[in-house]
């Protein structure tokens, strides 16, 4: 029996279609730059938002109307949600999903009990995988909801909490492996502090390094070959989080000898909270060889929290895809809709439609980004801007042939230096043209 009976199968109908349950831009098999859209975009549904989010806010209860609202037994609800996820991803042609351990099965009174519930739902997911095309992009552990994690997990001041978190992550990696997960994510939701007055920061970050080495060792031991990913976020729920942004994580990974084992999962709204553009975060990850995956959403520049909106901003989706294309694709990563409909968009139909809209926005972004690359004008302007490094003194500096003394001799009698224009507005117009032509 269908869980989302009123949601039809969604296909590509093209620009002229007014059917809300059709793609206007996302045409899975259409080739863009020698690769199909579906292989470029690797969309994923986030279990925690799409199945679990009741769409409450600090001032109001949940508004979401979902097919399991009439049920009360937690395991029965968990089963119906898992069936619902496979049905909806299949109907929407979303090839992947992501989950936290506690999203998919209720927590018991001991870890043993929680693991038992988890195993039961993971078995169901495995059998649903056999009947559906939906694959697992990544799994992760929820180390932030339960009160035991109030001061963090791997960075808790309490060693008992560290031990519990390690045991929980061990199991989460195992179930991710069982479901064929291509990655495993660490989002340090409460790995950080509220006040340095009560915090031994060095010890906490050292312990995070220890925790990650245990994870790397265990993955190796059980033969889990999925990519480990850190997801930066500067704050919320904790005031200051250790995984602040891509640059901060790079410092941590290098300092603790983890750089060969961990890449990054970059989320648009987290970039906003860190007062970076999404392009900055993706670019930082890419040029350092650690761009792994994307949590595709968008924030609100007027609000200081993680609103997790579905992506509709074409400038953002274009620049995300520009970085992804320059990265040679996302490899084992994907575009995970870590996004929820607005509280006022409460129906199951809204839930389906918001995914369709996000997919179309990324298909448009992909096409525009490919145009930017094919057209080459943007890159030509950048190359021209750095042309002085290609020959003469620039080349000699980059070849390591110069010193302060030799450069003094070079510069000392030079007349005024001339620069070439940065042409920012022309570049912005080129971007406009790629999106709107
Ligand atoms: C929260 C994070 C979270 C991670 C997974 O802000 O985005 O949902 O993606 O733990
Ligand atoms: Ni996220
Ligand atoms: Ni987030």
Q: How confident is the model at residue 373 (pLDDT cuts 50, 70, 90)?
A: very high
Q: How far apart are CA 38 and CA 26, in angstroms?
A: 8
Instruction: Give me the phi and psi of 118, to 5 degrees please.
Output: -60, -45
For residue 295, give the ligand nearest its CA: 2
Ligand 3: centre distance to CA 307 (Å): 8
Write down the pTM of the prediction.
0.98
CB burial of residue 84 (10 Å; 0-12, 13-18, 19+) = buried
Q: Is 90 exceeded by the pLDDT of residue 114?
A: yes
pLDDT digits (tens, 9 = 90+) for 152-165: 999 999 999 999 99
Q: In 223-289, where does DSSP find H-type helix?
A: 246-255, 268-273, 278-287
- Ligand 1 atom 10: the closest Cα is on which residue? 187
Question: Does ligand 1 lie within 6 Å of residue 231's CB atom?
Answer: yes
Paired with 242 in beta bridges are none
Average pLDDT, the chain: 98
Question: Does ligand 1 lie within 6 Å of residue 103's CB atom?
Answer: no
Decide if 103 is catalytic.
Answer: yes
pLDDT digits (tens, 9 = 90+) for 323-341: 999 999 999 999 999 999 9
Q: How confident is the model at residue 66 (pLDDT cuts 50, 70, 90)?
A: very high
Q: Is 90 exceeded by the pLDDT of residue 68?
A: yes
Question: Does ligand 1 lie within 6 Å of residue 233's CB atom?
Answer: yes
For residue 419, what is the DSSP state?
P
Report residue 419 as tokens: 């620069």
Interval 274-289 mean pLDDT: 98
Question: Does ligand 1 lie within 6 Å of residue 243's CB atom?
Answer: no
Report residue 337 as tokens: 């809709």
Q: How confident is the model at residue 241 (pLDDT cuts 50, 70, 90)?
A: very high
Query: Does residue 118 have a cis peptide bond before it, meaning omega lies within 30 degrees of 0?
Result: no
Ligand 1: centre distance to CA 108 (Å): 22
Question: Does ligand 1 lie within 6 Å of residue 101's CB atom?
Answer: no
Ligand 3: centre distance to CA 346 (Å): 20
Percentage above 70 pLDDT, the chain? 100
Q: Is 90 exceeded by the pLDDT of residue 437?
A: no
Residue 48's pLDDT is: 98
Select which of 25, 40, 101, 103 is catalytic: 103
Q: What is the DSSP string of 137-196?
A: EEEE---SSSGGGTT-STT-S-HHHHHHHHHHHHHHHHHHHHTT-SEEEE--TT-EES-G
Q: How many Cβ atoms are within 10 Å of 28's Cβ, its own excluded? A: 17
Best of 186, 228, 295, 307 to mutate for ligand 1, by most ligand atoms within 8 A of CB? Answer: 295
Interval 66-84 mean pLDDT: 98
pLDDT digits (tens, 9 = 90+) for 124-147: 999 999 999 999 999 999 999 999
Residue 249's pLDDT is: 98
Question: Does ligand 1 lie within 6 Å of residue 187's CB atom?
Answer: yes
Q: How confident is the model at residue 1 (pLDDT cuts 50, 70, 90)?
A: confident
- Asked whether 228 and 235 are in contact (CB, 8 A), the reply is no
Q: Is 90 exceeded by the pLDDT of residue 287?
A: yes
Ligand 1: centre distance to CA 187 (Å): 6
Ligand 2: centre distance to CA 266 (Å): 8
Q: How far apart are CA 330 and CA 136, in angstroms?
A: 15
Q: Is 90 exceeded by the pLDDT of residue 315?
A: yes
Q: How many Cβ atoms are within 10 Å of 196's Cβ, its own excluded? A: 9
Q: Which atom of ligand 1 is nearest to the CA of 49?
A: 8
């Amino acid at each position: 029996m269908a869980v989302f009976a009123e949601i039809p199968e969604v296909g590509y109908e093209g620009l002229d279609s007014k059917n809300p349950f059709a793609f206007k831009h996302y045409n899975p098999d259409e080739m863009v730059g020698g690769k199909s859209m579906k292989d470029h975009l690797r969309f994923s549904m986030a279990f925690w938002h799409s199945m679990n989010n009741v769409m409450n806010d600090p001032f109001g209860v949940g508004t979401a109307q979902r097919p399991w609202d009439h049920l009360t037994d937690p395991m029965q609800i968990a089963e119906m949600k898992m069936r619902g996820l496979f049905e909806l991803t299949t109907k929407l042609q979303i090839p992947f999903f992501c989950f936290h351990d506690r999203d998919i099965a209720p927590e018991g009174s001991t870890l043993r009990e929680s693991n038992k519930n988890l195993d039961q739902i993971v078995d169901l997911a495995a059998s649903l995988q056999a009947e559906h095309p939906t694959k697992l992009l990544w799994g992760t552990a929820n180390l932030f909801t339960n009160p035991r994690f109030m001061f963090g997990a791997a960075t808790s001041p309490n060693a008992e909490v560290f031990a519990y978190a390690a045991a929980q992550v061990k199991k989460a990696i195992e179930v991710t492996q069982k479901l064929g997960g291509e990655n495993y994510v660490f989002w340090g939701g409460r790995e950080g502090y509220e006040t340095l007055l009560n915090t031994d920061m060095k010890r906490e970050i050292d312990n995070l390094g220890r925790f990650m080495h245990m994870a790397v060792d265990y993955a190796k031991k059980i033969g889990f070959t999925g990519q480990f990913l850190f997801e930066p976020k500067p704050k919320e729920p904790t005031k200051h989080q250790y995984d602040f942004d891509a640059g901060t994580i790079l410092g941590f990974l290098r300092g603790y000898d983890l750089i060969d084992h961990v890449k990054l999962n970059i989320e648009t709204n987290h970039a906003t909270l860190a007062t970076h553009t999404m392009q900055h975060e993706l670019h930082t990850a890419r040029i350092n060889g650690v761009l792994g995956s994307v949590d595709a959403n968008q924030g609100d520049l007027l609000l200081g929290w993680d609103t997790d909106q579905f992506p509709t901003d074409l400038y953002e989706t274009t620049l995300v895809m520009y970085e992804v294309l320059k990265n040679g694709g996302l490899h084992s990563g994907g575009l995970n809709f870590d996004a929820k409909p607005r509280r006022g968009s409460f129906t199951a139909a809204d839930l389906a439609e918001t995914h369709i809209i996000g997919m179309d926005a990324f298909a448009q972004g992909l096409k525009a980004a490919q145009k930017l690359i094919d057209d080459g004008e943007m890159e030509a302007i950048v190359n021209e801007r750095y042309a002085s490094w290609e020959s003469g003194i620039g080349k000699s500096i980059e070849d390591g042939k110069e010193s302060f003394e030799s450069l003094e001799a070079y510069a000392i009698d030079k007349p005024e230096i001339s620069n070439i224009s940065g042409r920012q507005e022309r570049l912005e117009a080129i971007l406009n043209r790629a999106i709107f032509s």
